[in-house]
Amino acid sequence: MLFSQEIGIVGYGTYLPPKRIFAEEIEKKQGKADQGIAKSLGIISKTVPGEDEDAITLAIEAGLDCFAHFPIQKQDISALFVGSESHPYAVKPSGTVIASALGLPETLAMADFQFACKAGVQAMLAATAYVGSGMAKLGMGIGSDTAQAKPGNILEFTAAAGAACFIIGTTNLIARFQGAVSIATDTPDFWRRPGYEFPEHAGRFTAEPAYFAHVKKSSTLLLNELHKKPSDFTYCVFHTPNAKFPKAVAKQLGFTKEQLQHSLVVEKIGNTYAAATLLALTNVLDHAKKGDTIFVASYGSGAGSDALALEVLSNGKYT
């Protein structure tokens, strides 16, 4: 859909655990130091949550970071959606704890989302829908994860922890939404059954029929709807399960290395799952200036993709 009204991002915040582990160390521990796995994935290091950190605490920190940098009126936030693959409770919402810790009002539409790595972007879009419909003056969308990987599995190189928070509104916009599309199919490339400690994945099946097929389809649909081509955008962001996939899909769609450069935070922090696309977007916003345009495409196993386009209305932190 195309956005006919002024609606977009009025604030954002991030949190990454301070602990890191280098991919070379994982290679040594797995006895695969001579296989070049880390180099192939494009991962230098990844974040590791502390013993007292979970998806809730990370989300709270991201929210606090947002409030510290942007003049948000908390009492105007009347919708909160939290996307994660690692909600601490099977039955009990993460959002209620987050809302209480952040001091949000009790008059709050709230739900936890789960759609693998695209749950965070979906949470942001749900907040956008609430604001756009007039049901909320401000909406908050959060992606937060402490991703798990079975010891010895290739996911151990990338599964990381982090959170990003976005506040959506209609005034004092940092960036406005131009359009968005979403797709979903029953493509079981990655899953975890109830009671299982670690997720399973379908190996190479997670690439072409899963990640690439969905990201390219959502991206192409939105480009066509906007009557735009890749060269019309200043920057692009694609979901980062590693650094290899976004580079490949960007090239296949016709985007350049320069457009992608600021979104590849995965190289140093790993795959933060539901927070990954949002964290990449925050880094692009940090470097963007007024008039820049950003193309974003998420991916979530199972499988689906959201594509959205934004126009930057104010200079970022580092411009």
- According to DSSP, the residues that pair with 296 across neighbouring strands are 237, 308
Cα separation, 116 vs 113, in Å, equals 9
236 is catalytic: no
Least Cα distance to 160 among 46, 274, 26, 43 occurs for 46
Token output for 297? 């495409």
From 201, 214, 239, 262, active-site residue:
239
* Catalytic choice (53, 61, 85, 311): 85
User: Which among 233, 215, 220 is positioned nearest to 304, based on CA atoms?
Assistant: 215
Q: Which amino acid is at 143?
A: G
How long a stretch of residues is the chain?
319
In whole angstroms, give the CA distance from residue 231 to residue 255: 7
Active-site residue, from 53, 66, 87, 117: 117
Q: Judge whether 117 counts as a catalytic residue.
A: yes
Per the structure block, which two tokens stand in for 139?
A: 């909406």
What percent of the residues of the chain are helix, what percent strand, and what percent coil, each to the nearest 5?
Answer: 40, 25, 35
- Mark whether 201 is an active-site residue: no
| Catalytic residue list | 85, 117, 239
